[in-house]
Structure 1
């Protein structure tokens, strides 16, 4: 590989840290059809499955689940849940470990929640709530 002779700090920064795109994502726009949302979220699920997204989540959460000894269920808030694929993975792990769990999965987008509802019918441990992550409708129970 041939590198330029002199890279400035600005060159390196733009190479490794591109400018953040502040435009709305297609999935966040009302114009996206349910089918487009579903197809895109299915792609995200595939990426999570094959590129270690679930492995990282389940490894770290699994440590907490194994140590959880309480008369109350282990509780999780999943913000921007999308298709709720990660809450489903968490519930499966908790069931395997015999740990009661309750997941509140939130999203502002009604199309995403419609898809999530279709995905969680076998998981009563997951509750869906439509809300803005910046204005949560829950009291702080820390």
Structure 2
């Protein structure tokens, strides 16, 4: 049953494409429409203004690196940190809340976060640009 053999590297490629690709849409939206809302949240939390632009690293640069499999673990770490910051700044009240459909109210950001955490532990696999390097 050769066709049923597991292919971990193909699975990692699919995770990279899904997690990185879907988050990239959020980043593209912020590039097109600006980060005004995030700027308000950051200043409202009393944080320095420059932190606002970290969203471009977490939602554009890191996803592109994850998709290509270049420095996957580091990019996934940045990505996961971005998810944590978004949760703490915007979604804290929803952490222990169910959504209208009965699922966790933060299931989307949760899937992004845990997908990134999985990539921190696994790296990008053999179908990645940096599969030969220890920092993959």
Q: Which structure dedicates a bigger proportion of its chain to helix?
A: 2
Q: Under a length normalisation based on structure 1, what TM-score does the superposition of the two structures give?
A: 0.27
Compare CA radii of gyration and give the structure with the larger one.
1
Q: Which structure dedicates a bigger proportion of its chain to strand?
A: 1
Q: Under a length normalisation based on structure 2, what TM-score does the superposition of the two structures give?
A: 0.28
